[in-house]
Chains A and B, each alone.
Chain A
């Protein structure tokens, strides 16, 4: 009776570690691991020696010490008696503020330019090409400096607004003053009863969400289409306006006014903030414009034609057929542009905006001499921000991925 026998077991030879593909990958990994670990150990060892030679230690207690420097832009309470940790927090919030406002503006610029670049209007398309190519091929830093120079050199000084025949006037019905010290805009003042108004506003937003759900359920059940856009707009505006007058105008605007040689009242946005945000938004917008254009071009014409042949009107074709497909192409690069904008906000140093690199990674390091700890914290902050944003992108990518089987 013929039996299948195993091939004779050979004794393990050392050369198999290299010549046998079953073991070779193991060998390579072990060698790589040893090399990497010894390199890291070498770096760590050097660091320990260098720190010892300089008489420094490695700890983060400096974060609780008094900072002793002022920050002229802040979203939370801060004085020079606050701690370095609080200064870092102020910087982080300033970075996030630039990133947030910048991303919104960049999306507006980018989508507008991307759509207009595909326009059939020759001159508009050419102008948008100039915008996109100009911003894509010239360094961000230069744009930040240019916008900052425009803000400081080409705008009037506050004293030009004085006198009977001033050299400069405020814009937008005398409410916004653009000066070389920054832009002064009206600020909302929350009086008595404003909390109730805000509650009404939030309630109407919740109402809109429910109304949309109801409209969608109804359309799927009966095929009847409710006027979702006008309904939402009405829900958003009408209750808030009615309650605004019922409650006796609880929210008023505080207008900036000339007081002496400068403006007082209102909100003061510094040139550094405006220049940084605007330049980053314009720069990133040019890249987003290319993504948007690519995304729209990626949808084949057959999709539009198929939708039309089903009798779907143009507006709904865009909303239900083209956009969902184009967004799948547009959004991943869009989010990595947001990431780039957030990282580029560290160029704040060029205009003296107090972001996290200027507070934690700048003045704090200079004052305490803790380069290692400061840079480490700074790097970790940026790394966490990036990982959160790219994590969000991965979740989105999974949710819109074509379900192939």
Chain B
């Protein structure tokens, strides 16, 4: 009935009309402008003021940035070229300082004929770290990851190949102890042996073994002292080593702080609060001025190693606080569930608690890493030649006396790229690991 009625009524349309374009003010760029820039009078005012600010900055900076001089050997030469090209008194950047001192900014005083070594070490590190960062890659690559610390160390510092190999061999001892000593000493004895054997081996055996092997088969590359390291290479070495070492230490400290064991808890709290309460620069001065007091008379070890230790301890205390937040944020039921499954402390931490707690703490952990990487610039105050230290050194030469902005912009840009990509990676990881249903 209704059907026939619909068809017989001549005023009812049977087909759709084509959509009409919206009014000019309700679509496209005009609508966007109206909504986002000129919705109210104060919005309009802010837009105008911001546009003026942008215009002012661009008008002052663009020419200086893009018409800079790239080929000169000194600042005075740079100024001559500028006067020739653009006339007297024009203000343009002198990027030539970067091309002229590129090697120094990147490698410090590392011998130029060995520049391939840090480059190769960086490539090796990037390849080795890829399977950890992105789980789509073949798992076989993890063997490379395990070998990376030793390979990179050997490439950077050089010397005999047996040193790193002898140290790496120590890491095999816990597995051997667990497998073969378990039957003889029992589970507990094997655990203690797994901790004690490598330490004894490194303290007593590793040196002589490496020495003996080195005498028998002298394979090695030229040794380079860490005093020659500098520039972004130094920043990367300190930053990456600090990041890699501080994460496990921070997790252990966080577990200590959440622990029910009174002494371990109090010791972790004191350690974390003392480290966090004092600025990094004071710790660095402590490392350079005081460490010799605390070690047996006559010990003297590398300044760079001291810095790495201090930076690691410092970042570990911050990571401990971040991870503690993650541990505290887990619902109580997770801990109780792990207990009711009969898991012991380490099993429940490893299998149930930490994976979830670390996932929650990813943004905080990565922020700490970014902070650590930025803080590597502070080593300039104890005499290491990081990029800022080198920029001071470059400015102190007669050739480049008076170059400020070009160096600052370049260094700032490099740090920005590194830190920004770290924070983008952490956001990606957070999205990937998100398990709640949205």
Contact = CB atoms under 8 A, between A and B. Distances in A.
A46 B370 contact: no
A386 interface: yes
Contacts of A139: 374-375, 377, 388, 415
Interface in B151-205: 188
Interface string A137-156: 11111100110010001000
B223 interface: no
Contact of B277 (A123, A133, A387): A387
Nearest to A146: B408
A18 B420 CA distance: 49
Contacts of A86: none
Interface in A332-381: 343-344, 346-347, 349-350, 357, 361, 365, 371-372, 375, 378-379
Contacts of B420: 133, 137
A314 to B, nearest CB: 14
B286 A375 contact: yes
Contact of A361 (B273, B282, B293, B370): B282
Contacts of B188: 18
A372 B54 contact: no
A32 B267 contact: yes
B37 A361 contact: no
Contacts of A303: none
Interface stretch (A47-55, A70-78, A271-279): A47-55
A59 interface: no
A289 to B, nearest CB: 15
Nearest to B265: A29
Interface stretch (A114-122, A175-183, A220-228, A318-326): A114-122
Given A124-B50, A149-B405, A153-B404, A343 B289 contact: no
B356 interface: no
Contacts of A119: 43, 46
A46 B276 contact: no
A123 B415 CA distance: 25
A53 B297 contact: yes
Given A149-B408, A343-B278, A46 B293 contact: yes
Given A357-B281, A365-B289, A123 B374 contact: no
Contact of B412 (A47, A142, A365): A142
Contacts of B53: 127
A138 B297 contact: no
B52 to A, nearest CB: 11
Nearest to A127: B50
Given A29-B261, A29-B264, A146-B408, A386 B277 contact: yes
Contact of B415 (A137, A344, A385): A137
A121 B37 contact: yes
Nearest to B420: A137
Contact of A138 (B43, B262, B278, B412): B412
A207 interface: no
A120 B43 contact: yes
A349 B279 CA distance: 13
Main secondary structure of the interface of B (DSSP, over half): helix
Interface in A300-322: none
B90 interface: no
B279 A343 contact: yes
Contacts of A244: none
B303 interface: no
A87 B261 CA distance: 44
Contacts of B282: 346, 357, 361, 375, 378-379, 382
A239 interface: no
B140 to A, nearest CB: 35
A245 to B, nearest CB: 36
A383 interface: yes
A378 B54 CA distance: 44
B256 to A, nearest CB: 9
B261 A25 contact: yes
A43 B294 contact: yes
Contacts of A365: 289
Contacts of B408: 142, 145-146, 149
A199 interface: no
Contact of A142 (B36, B46, B278, B388): B388
B102 interface: no
A134 B419 CA distance: 10
A121 B281 contact: no
A121 B36 contact: yes
A382 B293 contact: no
Interface in A36-61: 36, 43, 46-47, 49-51, 53
A122 B415 contact: no
A121 B46 contact: yes
Nearest to B404: A149
A28 interface: yes
A142 B281 contact: no
A396 interface: no
A261 interface: no
Contact of B292 (A25, A50, A347): A50
Nearest to B405: A149
A317 B115 CA distance: 63
Interface in B254-293: 260-264, 267, 273-274, 276-282, 285-286, 289-290, 292-293
B47 interface: yes
Contacts of B216: none
A18 B321 CA distance: 31
Contacts of A350: 381
Interface in B51-66: 51, 53-54
B268 to A, nearest CB: 10
Contacts of B295: 46
B37 A123 contact: yes
Interface in A143-191: 145-146, 149, 153
A124 B277 CA distance: 37
Kindly name the residue among A50, A121, A149, A347 whose own CB sees the greatest number of chain B CB atoms within 10 A: A121
Nearest to B288: A371
A346 B297 CA distance: 31
Q: Which 10 pairs between the two chains have the least Cβ-Cβ distance?
A: A386-B277, A137-B419, A343-B279, A383-B277, A122-B36, A139-B374, A346-B279, A139-B377, A29-B263, A371-B289
7 contacts: A32-B267, A119-B43, A136-B370, A145-B388, A357-B282, A371-B293, A386-B273
Interface of A: 18, 25, 28-29, 32-33, 36, 43, 46-47, 49-51, 53, 119-124, 127, 133-134, 136-142, 145-146, 149, 153, 343-344, 346-347, 349-350, 357, 361, 365, 371-372, 375, 378-379, 382-383, 385-387
Given A123-B37, A127-B54, A382-B279, 10 more contacts: A33-B263, A43-B294, A119-B43, A121-B46, A122-B37, A139-B374, A141-B380, A149-B408, A372-B293, A386-B278
